Amino acid sequence: MVKVLVYPANSLILADLVERFGHEPLSVQQEIREKISAPGLDSPPLNITPDDPKIGLRYAAVEVPSGVRGRMALIGPLIEEAEAAVVVHDPDPTFGCMGCARTNELVNFLIRARKIPLLELKYPSTEDDARDFVVRVAEFLKSLENGK
């Protein structure tokens, strides 16, 4: 079993496929669960502990907007833990007020910098695209099993 980072970090389809093909998906909800099970934090990820800015500073400099550092405090440790990654590019919710373009760029850069096995895709919109999407993800995950 390989720890596979999924991006978008809260993706249902990717987390399900990774689990279905026998690996462990790394998603941001796991980090949130860890945080809410620690006493003293009211409403994560809106509230942070004194440690979170320090974790965020490992990935982004102090002049970078605090939102980037806050997001990286959650996603950064997952990237470090990942042994492989499946990335879907440019999904709508990662753009605009719900997302953060700079964090997305930084996350994609850090995943590439780790030099772990990486699969990059786009969300399917037709039946043919969906078939291709599933085959690519399945073959990638099976290749991880074989240690290729």
Partner 1 sequence: MKSDLDGVVTKLIILSSKRIMPGELLSKIYSLKKDLIVKETCFGAEVSGKKDDVEDALREARSLDPYGVFVKERGFLPGDPRRCRATRAGARPGFHQIELEVERLPLIAKALSEYERGALLRREEGEELNLSAGRFKEIIEDTLKDMSV
Candidate residues 23, 86, 133, 141; the one interacting with partner 1 per rule CB under 8 A: 133
Beta carbon nearer to partner 1, 32 or 57: 32
Residue in the block written with tokens 């700079």: 102
> Looking at 3-11, 62-70, 77-85, 108-116, which segment touches partner 1 (CB under 8 A)?
3-11
φ and ψ of 128, to 5 deg? -65, -45
Q: What residues from 69 to 128 belong to the interface with partner 1 (CB under 8 A)? A: 91-93, 98, 123-128
Residues numbered 13-42 forming contacts with partner 1, rule: CB under 8 A: 13, 15-17, 19-20, 25, 27-33, 35-40, 42
Are residues 80 and 101 in contact, defined by beta-carbon separation less than 8 angstroms?
no
The span from the CA of 4 to the CA of 88, in Å, is: 13
Nearer to partner 1, 63 or 90 (CB): 90
Residue 19 or 80: the one with the smaller Cβ distance to partner 1 is 19
Pairing of strands 24-26, 118-121: unpaired
- Asked whether the beta carbons of 70 and 52 are under 8 A apart, the reply is yes
Q: How far apart are CA 64 and CA 46, in angstroms?
A: 18
Residue 101 or residue 135: which is nearer to partner 1 going by CB?
135
